[in-house]
């Protein structure tokens, strides 16, 4: 369960109304206190101003709050959590710093495209291994600050071992990558 003091819920309804427990609305990416290279990536991706969900959900994500953002397709949810993740990546640390789980390869591929486009000027690297559970498959997207992630994964002993872990232990498996 999410702690009310450390969580944020934002729901954009079909009729355009917003239900949220987060009061702050930031109407410009420039006012969010983002890294310059991240702003360059956001604007080069084609964003001019934040959508309703982005105006309310990016700031709590940057503050490392547990955040639930619910909105219709095409409102910028993927970019919202991507911006929150990329703002918190330590560019001097070459280790894996984030893990995104997706239920389908198509969604994982879409997320990687958004991460790579918005994070283009930051020099982030991604990798998409397959995680299998007893009931279904999940695709994990590892994020690191440089291409070192690919080199480390390819030469790691037991290559492919992380791809056979349960989602609950994916984060622990990343230490071996």
With CA atoms as reference, report the closest residue to 127 among 157, 170, 91: 170
Residue 85: exposed, middle, or buried by beta-carbon count in 10 A (0-12, 13-18, 19+)?
buried
Give residue 134's pLDDT. 58
Prediction pTM value = 0.72
Rounded mean pLDDT for each run of 10 residues along the chain, 177 residues in total: 58 73 88 96 96 91 86 91 93 84 85 92 81 64 57 42 38 45
**Cα Rg, the chain, nearest whole Å:** 17
Q: Fold for 4-88, please state it.
A: Rossmann fold (3.40.50)
How high is the pLDDT of residue 162?
35
Domain boundaries, the chain: 4-88, 98-176
Per-residue burial over 121-156, b if 16 or more Cβ lie within 10 Å, else e, is ebebbbbbbebeeeeeebbbbbbbbeeebeebbeee
């Amino acid at each position: 369960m999410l702690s009310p003091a450390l969580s944020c819920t934002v729901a954009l309804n079909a009729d355009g109304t917003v239900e949220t427990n987060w009061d702050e609305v930031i109407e410009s990416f420039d006012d969010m206190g983002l890294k310059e290279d991240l702003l360059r990536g956001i604007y080069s991706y084609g964003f001019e101003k934040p959508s309703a969900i982005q105006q309310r959900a990016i700031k709590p994500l940057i503050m490392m709050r547990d955040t639930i953002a619910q909105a219709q397709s095409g409102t910028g949810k993927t970019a919202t959590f991507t911006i929150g993740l990329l703002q918190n990546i330590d560019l001097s640390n070459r280790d894996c710093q984030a893990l995104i789980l997706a239920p389908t390869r198509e969604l994982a591929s879409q997320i990687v495209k958004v991460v790579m486009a918005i994070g283009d000027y930051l020099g982030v690297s991604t990798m998409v291994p397959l995680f299998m559970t007893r009931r279904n498959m999940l695709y994990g997207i590892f994020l690191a600050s440089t291409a070192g992630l690919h080199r480390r994964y390819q030469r790691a002993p037991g290559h492919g071992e992380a791809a056979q872990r349960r989602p609950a232990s994916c984060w622990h498996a990343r230490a071996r990558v």
